[in-house]
Chains A and B, each alone.
Chain A
Amino acid sequence: MDTTVNIEQQGGDEVKKTTCYMCACRCGIKVTLRDGKVRYIEGNPDHPLNKGVLCAKGASGIMKQNSPGRLTKPLLRRANSVRGEAKFDEISWDRAFQIMEERLSKIRAEDPKKFALFTGRDQMQALTGMFAKQFGTPNYAAHGGFCSVNMAAGMIYTIGGSFWEFGGPDLERAKLFIMIGTAEDHHSNPMKIALSKFKRDGGRFISINPIRTGYSAIADEWVPIKPGTDGALIMALNHELIKNGLYDREFLIDYTNAPELVNLNEKSSENGMFVRREVPEEEGCFEPQNKLWWSGKEDKAVFTRTPDADPRLLGGFQLEDGTDVKPSFQLLKERLEEYTPEWAAGITGIPAETIRRLAYEMGVTARDQKIELPIQWTDTWGKEHDTVTGNPVAFHAMRGLAAHSNGFQSIRALSILMTLLGTIDRPGGFRHKAPFPRPIPPCAKPPKGPEAVQPNTPLDGMPLGWPADPDDLFVDDKGEPVRLDKAFSWEYPLSVHGLMHNAITNAWRGDPYKIDTMLLFMANMAWNSSMNTEDARMMLADKDENGEYKIPFLIVADAYFSETVAFADLVLPDTTYLERHDAMSMLDRPISEFDGPADSVRIPVVPPKGDCKPFQDVLVEMGTRLGLPAFVNKDGGRKYRDYPDFIINFETEPDSGIGFLSGWRGKGGEKFMRGEPNPRQWEMYEKNNCVYHHKLPKSFQYMRNWNKGYLNWAHAHGLTKYEEPINIHIYSEVLQKFRLAAQGKNPGGRVPPERLRKRVETYFDPLPFYHEPLESQLVDTQSYPLNALTQRPMAMYHSWDSQNAWLRQIHTHNYMFVNPRTAQAQQIGDGDWMWAESAHGKVRCMCRYSEAVEPGTVWTWNAIGKASGSWGLSPKANESQKGFLLNHLISEELPACEAGTHLSNSDPITGQAAWYDVRVKIYKAGADEPKQSYPQFKPVKAVPGMPTKVSNVVARVFGFGKR
């Protein structure tokens, strides 16, 4: 008889469904509870996103729940202690609310912009953004500016959608898949599911990345590239595709501005703009169809969409009034002429013949392996189509392209590459996810000037939006920024996600002004979320000549004892994802699929630990106490009991029928997208795997930029304001408008301050171009010959998981990975202690040889290193003693240059943090040096509410097993 294994009876267990939050992927999970405690977490097979699978992080959620790093009590910095010491007294929530209410109501009555709210990866920007707007402060942003805003902006300003939560590669039908600059992804499990199926189906997978880890490991071909040179590669690919006629001419004519004629009259204020025959007042944010083609048939200019015009894509022409014009595609071709594979080879490190072959593979696959799906659809011009065509070449790219100061233009170039191949919202190519596609750019706009900020008044505009021209910038009459982070100023005009990475430095310096209170939610700004971490910590604790903190009051909301908590004046203990209600809202980043919109929720499976309170409840309570209009009734009384009540009853406008959740709206849950509040909405989500997924008819699933049925549906259901076609911007007039302003060619319009004119003129090029990253232009690349990068491991989400007993065993500390040739040139052996030094700072770390990195690059895993004593770890934990952050090498500001002394180390168009621009040198650490990572910080100790003694034998603590 088998005496070892007794088959357990599971009958008494309770299983609840909710949504994972071990990373941003948002998989459906089933949580098994025994005696009210979490026993087992597994994937929910009925969830559209993960279909039952779960990753290493998701399956370790139980250890996050039980981590000794949990905060459990509201805390107030102890009198006479200093920031960073982490000496706190426990206080009640009443007291915490009272402190905030007094402080914030005074700020709101005097100058609301002195309150700054910045949130990390939170997935609740619909609420936090609304709170900021209602408060009246423009100083709000989430983490996008230091994550991948270039990817969002570069693609949305070109094709009206983006990778990320907003669209992706259709690997189910693709034949060739090219992944650029991606190690692990937001869309983590769906990517893995799709990639393995793609490979099993015989698809060809090419990975372009300086490093071969993660997904790249299973690529059929790895193409190592030098960091920051992706734009050069993509421009050369575009060069080859056009040179060899390997582009989809019909797609370019029908769906892009490639054939539209550009005014080449240099003296005109319309120079570089499309010629318009009639220039009506352009209402809203769609493009009227009033531009010109050059008819190949009649050899003269005709209106766009003239039937049988056979427009020319190439050539130069003259209008009757003598204006010289060219189709924008001709300008693109001319731009690409210098970008030959031989030119790109010298920059990217990829042989010219490889670049050529890649272009041919893409072009030939797109042309010769066409898919015709028998799906009838009608385009916005009324033409009926019997089939949907697909050119099965798919791409995916992420932070490797985005986190460079040339990222926006590189991503514009990639979007154009995808367009040349005719792959946008087509089978086997790129597919949108609702609410995308959106107009180019989307309609939401930031405020236009300082008058948008008024005492006791909501902000006039959205804190974040999509500028379409210089009039949409958020600047004062001198053209200087209104926001603390200088977003939407001439320094970073299209900073659509803000510049959280400069908020602390700017607040500390009082540039553009001093603030009073900063509230950080789930943002580890004293550690891995800041560039220049050492100085960020200094600034958080720095005092003025009167002995007052330069950032007078700091509130930190987090579930864990992160490095940033130590600097707080007030700490608000948040709940874990298993303890709270959440909405992955259509107003923020829903979990939509290619086949239709989807949103989802979290429903608590266990009660909050200690005195933890969901941050959303805190915001609803504060909104009510401060009397913010959206949170109170007309009589000023409380409108919402708590966050779950808010989710059900909030509408974007009175009776708009649009709320945070799109499913089961209407009194009985009979409506979706739009409908009056349904008091039983939570129950209905709970019964349906916590997901609402509306599958569109097949005829609405493709070609959505131009799909009459889809656009009509999207408009009717409140997704989009207009039903107009969203043509692809091969040539960007939006960028040209900023350039014209910088050239002084927009009479009466806004112009950049003198110091920024050349910068705006240079980078706001309506056609993509390659330039060296800004840091490389400003530092001596001979002295700092190497690039340094981070990658995100699959088993660890940024700083979140070192408190997790299982996951920290997978990545206990990080090494610097160095190609042996590069290391040996410095006499650094495998496992040796070494230094990496940039123009800004230096770190001591351990070297690990790797043949899977190109020799000009060194890299490490992101955010494994921790400050001693944080996150509930022992001060001797490997994370702090051997682990390190690359952030110490990266400055948040560029060296002073003609455009300014304190410019952000960011993309000059979007303000995207240029993490991966950093240049370093490496050398061996001395034999007499400590075998310890550098820099080190004074260890912090557990705060009230955390266990004073941590049991390190985990199984016993949580009662696993029966022995």
Chain B
Amino acid sequence: MAQLALVIDLNVCVGCHACVTSCKEWNTAGAAGPMTDQSAYDKDPTGTFFNRVQTYEAGTFPNTETIHFPKSCLHCEDPPCVPVCPTGASYKRKEDGIVLVDYDKCIGCKYCSWACPYGAREFDEEQKVMKKCTLCVDRIYDLNKPEEERLPACVMSCPTSARLFGDVHDPESDVSIAIRERAGYQLMPEWSTHPANHYLPRRKTTMNIHQDELIRADNPLKKEGLLSDLPSDKQTLDETTSW
């Protein structure tokens, strides 16, 4: 069976938050909405977001890395949020592996958010139900949309194309190839949740310059008479050795 997922390329993510607000924009007015905000224009505003970008620093100056890390529900293959749900509101779809919440069954007990090791669930304080990323299930199957737009909103908007979307069970899909060829990894595999979403690590391009690349026959300084070959009056090895 298919397992839809996001593969997020940390090599190009600049932390712009496009995925954060395009997700909110689509979903708050969509089938998984609303995504309410409290204290929207007051002290300590807080709201529901299905997707957030966290920024970390690693290392100490000057060897510091700044890492922008977009995170949403990872649509685990063995999602710990599902078995703990007392009402069956939290479930994983067989046909595509998307983990969803049925708001009509959810009683807001928050067991699922305690069970999720990734902190991916968002409790809606207004509606008192648990919400989370749906992989834009109301976009990706929408036959009214042209095929190229049947993608999660975050994938559509991402300016660096850092978000790939596809079936990680299909070995020939773009996402599977990316995971295979670019060392895609899962978050906290030790929890055996088998997250469907993967991350692609940073890759560094370096340049090595050999000393002889700096000393060249076509050095333009030669044309100015500033570099010359060995003066002809100096002795050479050829003249002084005889074996």
Using a CB–CB cutoff of 8 Å, the interface residues on chain A facing chain B are 2-11, 39-43, 45, 50, 52-60, 62, 68, 176, 188-189, 192-193, 195-197, 199-200, 202-205, 212-218, 220-222, 224, 244-247, 249, 296, 310, 312-315, 357, 360-361, 364-365, 367-368, 794-795, 803, 805-810, 812, 819, 821, 850-855, 872-874, 876-878, 881, 950-956, 960-961, 963
A956 to B156, CA, bound (A): 26
With an 8 A cutoff between CB atoms, is B1 at the interface? no
Residue of A nearest to B140 (CB): A7
Beta-carbon contacts under 8 Å, B37-79 to A: 37-47, 49, 57, 59-62, 64-68
Q: With CB as the reference atom, state the residue of chain B lying closest to A361.
A: B207
Nearest CB of chain A from residue B231's CB, rounded to whole Å:
19
Q: Indicate if the CB atoms of B160 and A192 lie closer than 8 Å.
A: yes
Residues A216 and B36 in contact, CB atoms below 8 Å apart: no
CB–CB B25/A218 < 8 A: no
Known: A5-B137, A245-B219, A851-B60. A52 touches B37 (CB 8 A): no
- Pick from B21, B34, B39 the residue with the most CB of A within 10 Å: B21
| A residues less than 8 Å from B223 (CB atoms) | 249, 296, 310
* A59 neighbours in B (Cβ, 8 Å): 18, 21-22, 24-25, 157
B101 in complex: contacting residue of A4, A39, A955, CB < 8 Å: A4
* A191: nearest chain-B partner, CB-CB: B159
B108 contacts partner chain A, Cβ-Cβ < 8 Å: no
> In the docked arrangement, what's the CA distance between A516 and B142, Å?
60
What CA separation (Å) do A222 and B141 show in the bound complex?
43
**With known contacts A214-B15, A806-B47, A851-B57, A364–B213 Cβ distance under 8 A:** yes
Contact in complex: B160, A196 (CB < 8 Å): yes
Chain A residue with Cβ nearest B28? A960
The answer to whether A809 touches B43, judged by C-beta atoms less than 8 angstroms apart, is no
For B43, the chain A residues whose CB sits under 8 A away are 874, 876-878, 881
Number of contacting residues on B, CB 8 A?
Answer: 89
> Which chain A residues lie closer than 8 Å to B189 at the CB level?
none
Contact (Cβ within 8 A) A360 B214: yes
User: Chain B nearest CB: distance from A672 CB in Å?
Assistant: 29
**Stretch from B6-14, B110-118, B165-173, B191-199 contacting the other chain:** B6-14
Given the complex of chains A and B, what is the CA–CA distance between A203 and B12 in angstroms?
12
The answer on a CB contact under 8 Å between B31 and A810 is no
Chain B residue numbers with a CB within 8 Å of A214 are: 14-15
B18 x A56 contact (CB < 8 A): yes
* Complex CA distance for A17 and B11, rounded to whole angstroms: 32
CB<8 Å pairs between A and B, sample of 22 = A42-B22, A53-B159, A56-B20, A56-B22, A57-B21, A59-B18, A192-B16, A195-B14, A196-B9, A199-B205, A200-B12, A218-B202, A244-B219, A245-B220, A313-B224, A357-B209, A794-B14, A794-B15, A808-B45, A853-B61, A952-B40, A960-B29
Is the pair A806, B37 in contact by a Cβ cutoff of 8 Å? yes
> A476–B65 Cα gap in the complex (Å)?
55
Q: Are A8 and B102 in contact, with the CB atoms below 8 A? A: no
Of listed B9, B145, B227, residue having the most chain A CB within 10 A: B9
A955 touching B35, Cβ below 8 Å: yes
Contact check, B37 vs A852: say whether CB atoms are below 8 A apart. Answer: no
Query: With an 8 A cutoff between CB atoms, is B242 at the interface?
Result: no
Interface residue B158 (Cβ < 8 Å from any Cβ of A): yes
Interface status of B103 (Cβ within 8 A of chain A): yes
Q: Tell me whether B240 is interfacial, beta carbon within 8 Å.
A: no
Q: Does B30 contact A (CB under 8 A)?
A: yes
Within 8 Å of chain A (Cβ to Cβ): is B236?
no
User: Smallest CB-CB separation from B44: which chain A residue?
Assistant: A878
Report the Cα distance A258→B59, complex, angstroms: 45
Provide the residues of chain A in CB contact with B29, threshold 8 Å. 39-40, 960-961
Instruction: Give the CA-CA distance A204 to B204 in the complex, in Å.
Output: 8
Partner of B33, one of A10, A853, A854, A955: A955
Q: Is the CB of A963 within 8 A of B61?
A: no
> Chain B contacts of A364 at CB under 8 A?
209, 213-214
Q: Known interface pairs A202-B205, A315-B224. Does A806 touch B44 (Cβ–Cβ under 8 Å)? A: no
**Could you tell me the distance in whole angstroms from the C-beta of A50 to the nearest C-beta in chain B?**
7
- B121 CB-CB contact with A under 8 Å: no
Q: Is B226 an interface residue (CB 8 A)?
A: yes
Interface residues of B in 126-177 (CB under 8 A from A): 126-127, 134, 137-138, 141-142, 144-145, 148, 153, 156-162
Contact A360 B209 (CB under 8 A): yes
B123 at the interface (CB under 8 A from A): no
Instruction: List chain B residues, Cβ under 8 A from A7.
Output: 31, 138, 141-142
Main SS of the interface on chain B?
loop
Q: Does B100 contact A (CB under 8 A)?
A: yes
Report the nearest A residue to B22, measured CB to CB: A59
B66 touching A216, Cβ below 8 Å: yes
Cβ–Cβ contact B37 & A55, under 8 A = no
Task: Please give, as numbers and ranges, the residues of chain B lying within 8 Å of A810 by CB-CB distance.
Answer: 17, 20
In the assembled complex, which residues on chain A have CB atoms less than 8 Å from the CB atom of B234? none
Query: What residues of chain A lie closer than 8 Å to B159, measured between beta carbons?
Result: 50, 53-55, 188-189, 192-193, 196
Q: Judging by beta carbons under 8 Å apart, are B41 and A874 in contact?
A: yes
What residue of chain B has the Cβ atom nearest to residue A808's Cβ?
A: B45
> CB distance A876 to B126 under 8 Å?
no
Chain B min CB distance to A215 (Å)? 5
| Alpha-carbon separation in the docked complex, A10 to B44 (Å) | 35
Known: A312-B224, A314-B226, A364-B214. A954 touches B47 (CB 8 A): yes
Please name all residues of chain A whose beta carbon is closer than 8 Å to the beta carbon of B57 when the two chains form the complex.
850-852
Q: Could you say which residues of chain B place their CB within 8 Å of the CB of A876?
A: 42-43
Chain A's nearest CB lies how many Å from the CB of B126?
6
What residues on A are CB-neighbors of B21 within 8 Å? 56-57, 59-60, 795, 806-807
**Interface check B239, CB cutoff 8 A:** no
Residues of A within 8 A of B25 (CB): 40-41, 59-60, 62, 806
Cβ of B160 and Cβ of A877 under 8 Å apart?
no
Residue contact A217 to B67, C-beta cutoff 8 Å: yes
Q: A196 vs B14: C-alpha distance in the bound complex, in angstroms? A: 9
**B235 at the A/B interface (Cβ < 8 Å)?**
no
- Nearest chain B CB to A938's CB is how many angstroms away? 18
**Are A5 and B138 in contact (CB-based, < 8 A)?**
yes
B158 CB contacts on chain A under 8 angstroms: 53
Partner of A961, one of B34, B61, B137, B157: B34
B233 contacts chain A at the CB level, 8 A cutoff: no
Give bound CA distance, A56 to B101, whole Å: 26
Q: A245 to B221, Cβ gap below 8 A?
A: yes
Q: Is the beta-carbon distance between A220 and B219 smaller than 8 angstroms? A: no
Give the distance in Å from the alpha carbon of A877 to the alpha carbon of B43 in the complex: 4
Q: State whether A794 touches B224 (Cβ < 8 A).
A: no
Report the minimal beta-carbon distance from A63 to chain B, rounded to whole angstroms. Answer: 9
B226 to chain A, nearest CB (A): 7
Tell me the complex Cα distance, A846–B36, Å: 29
Contact A193 B160 (CB under 8 A): yes
Q: Quick check: B62 and A854 within 8 Å, CB to CB? A: yes
CB distance from A252 to the nearest CB of B (A): 9
- Chain A CB within 8 A of B104 CB: yes
Q: How far is the CA of A141 from the CA of B192 in the complex (A)?
A: 62
State whether B66 touches A212 (Cβ < 8 A): yes
Task: Tell me the bound Cα distance from A313 to B219 in angstroms.
Answer: 13
Report chain B residues within 8 Å CB of A314.
221, 224, 226
Q: Is the CB of A55 within 8 A of B34?
A: no
CB neighbours of A39 from chain B (8 A): 29
Q: Which of B72-119 contact A (CB under 8 A)?
A: 93, 100-104
The answer on a CB contact under 8 Å between A956 and B142 is no
Contact between chains at B41 and A873 (CB < 8 Å)? yes
Contacts of A956 in B (CB 8 A): 34, 36, 126
Q: Is the CB of A8 within 8 A of B39?
A: no
Cα A960 to Cα B206 with chains together (Å): 49
Contact among A361, A873, A960 with B34 in the assembled complex (CB-CB below 8 Å): A960
Instruction: Choose among B43, B162, B214 the residue with the greatest number of A CB atoms under 10 Å from its CB.
Output: B43
Name which of B33, B62, B68, B204 has the most chain A CB atoms within 10 A of its CB: B62
* Nearest-CB residue, chain A, relative to B227: A245
In the bound complex, residues from chain A placing their C-beta under 8 Å from that of B142 are: 7-8, 10
- Complex Cα gap A803–B41 (Å): 7
Cβ–Cβ < 8 Å partners of B126 in chain A: 953, 955-956
Please give me the 3 A-B residue pairs with the lowest Cβ-Cβ distance, nearest first: A961-B34, A955-B34, A196-B160
